Amino acid sequence: MNPTIRIATSTSASRRVFTFLRTGVAGLLVLALAYVLAASFPKPMFGYRVDYQNYQVWSDQPIPDEISHVLDDVTRRLRTSSLHDRDTPVEIFFCNESWRLGFFGRSFSTQMGGAADTWLTRQVFIRASDIASNRIHTPTGRPLADAAQRPLSYYIAHEITHSDTSRRFGRTIMLRYPQWLVEGYADYVGKGGDFDFEENRALFAAGAAALDHDRSGLYREFHLKVAYLLDKKGWTLEQVFANPPDESELDARLRMEIAFPAD
Ligand SMILES: [Zn+2]
């Protein structure tokens, strides 16, 4: 074969691959942008709205009057947060149709209790719920673990705390801070003080599954670490976020019941 022709063919093929890849990447970027835009403006997609105090609540189903009791309990829980400002409007969207939670919740999962957009809108999305009973519907239909400590108002307060944390510490909190801190503080506020520190510390030291996030999916392990620093060691939330301790060191201290050295 003539070597000149082979080189020309090879160059032409490379150009076609490059053009194909460039078109593909451009197409993906347009799709991603279209998705972010659509997910950032959910209001036209939710037909029902109730305003109560600083809360604006949207839903894809009629919103029962009992929402005011749920939101009063959210307010009570948020009083344990040093970040929450009652004058800040809060936008909450109930996603009774599961695709809405996957689409607007940004993670394409329909399994979670709720989600907060900490990047752009700071809107909160909550899964299908029985508002009148102050509880969420679980994805499986089976009873919820720790149901007494996790009514619907827990989930709303938890997600609002993620939004508040991003207002205070930046939109990239999920990337810059450890999971035990971000989820632990949201659980700490969401539970509104309904947390027995010594009981949970003893369960953690004993290796109980409920205090192991990997095995249970629960945030009690993370809550314990945040409560230890805020309530037992007297750190401020700003101090914890400025210098989060190494998690393995926290684990060891909680297991051994030894105190942190002087801060
Ligand atoms: Zn969370």
Q: Which of 17-26, 44-53, 119-128, 161-170 has the lowest mean pLDDT?
A: 17-26
Quote the ligand 1 centre to 3 CA distance (angstroms): 62
pLDDT for residue 65 is more than 60: yes
pLDDT for residue 46 is more than 90: yes
Rounded average pLDDT over 36-43: 85
Quote the ligand 1 centre to 183 CA distance (angstroms): 5
Cα–Cα distance between 249 and 239 in angstroms, integer? Answer: 17
Quote the ligand 1 centre to 84 CA distance (angstroms): 16
Cα–Cα distance between 55 and 129 in angstroms, integer? Answer: 17
Quote the ligand 1 centre to 114 CA distance (angstroms): 8
Quote the ligand 1 centre to 177 CA distance (angstroms): 13
Quote the ligand 1 centre to 150 CA distance (angstroms): 13
SS (H, E, C) 156-186: HHHHHHHHHHHHHHCCCHHHHCCHHHHHHHH
Q: Residue 3's pLDDT band (boundaries 50, 70, 90)?
A: low
* pLDDT at position 2: 55
Q: Using alpha carbons only, how large is the chain's radius of gyration in Å?
A: 23
* pLDDT at position 263: 43
